Amino acid sequence: MVGRLACAAGTLVAGLAAPLAAGPAALEAAGRQGIAAAAGFTERFQRASAPGWHIAEYDFSHPAFDTDWRRANVRIAGGLTLDLLPRGGPGNRFSGGSIRRDAPTGHGRYEAVLRAAGGTGLVTGFFTYTGPAYGSRHDEIDIEILGQSPDHLHAAWFVDGDLQSRRIPLGFDASAGFHHFAFTWEPGRITWEAEGRVLLVIEEGPGRPLPRVPGRLFANLWAADPSIASWAGHTAPATRAQAQFACVAYTPLKAALRGRPPACAAPGGTS
């Protein structure tokens, strides 16, 4: 279930991108060539606007989501805040916030200092995604925190639309304070971390492919539809919640492997 949700969230937001310029094979080849050249960034969301980011604004018609995306639910000032609010009228019961990078990135280290939303039925996501909206196959790497179990991390990855996932204990409540999360994407390996501690390492092997196509980096907060309550829990009708991101960063692989310190590490950055 986690895979279908991450896929749907990425696909619909990605659908706001420019029209396709190349077929899947050409785009994947170009993406591989550009992996090493992609520029790194560190974003602490200190300005009212965020150049290089796109904020979603549309009604989301998907059976697993009880959430539409609203620009007003993404607040940038001294950090990034994603709001989830009840909404009236027909359709989805909630509005949530979603933001993504304009440009794709590939192999490297992806970091976030975040405080996840707590509460049943809520999902805080931090992930890379590419797929048909960008003229490529569906490759994706996810960090998800479920509000009903914020002491666990859901790690997932897609290769050409095929999902694998793991549920990993964190040893802390990700909704109770800011914590540093990261995944490092290398050719043949993905490593997930929290607070500098390795949680999961997945290596490529026979019958175990890993993502290869560069994707866009997303952060979002949403309420799950009651039909998937067995995975995420029920969202009470009056639920209001926030997910906060103090820092989001991408470091290209060569710099990450040279031992460069985490881009989001800073005094008072985590608790």
Q: Is 144 a catalytic residue?
A: yes
Q: Do the strands 197-203 and 189-194 form a parallel or antiparallel pair, or are they unpaired?
A: antiparallel
Dist. CA 9–CA 230, nearest whole Å: 19
Report how far apart the first and last C-alpha atoms of the chain are (Å, whole number).
31
Catalytic residue among 28, 43, 144, 193: 144
Tell me the three state secondary structure of residue 122.
strand
Contact 163, 3 (CB under 8 A): yes
Catalytic residue among 140, 186, 193, 195: 140
Q: Is 140 a catalytic residue?
A: yes
> Backbone phi, then psi, for 144, in 5-degree steps?
-130, 140
**Residue 36 CB partners (closer than 8 Å, separation 6+):** 106, 107, 252, 253, 254
Dist. CA 24–CA 129, nearest whole Å: 14
Tell me the three state secondary structure of residue 229.
helix
Active-site positions? 140, 144
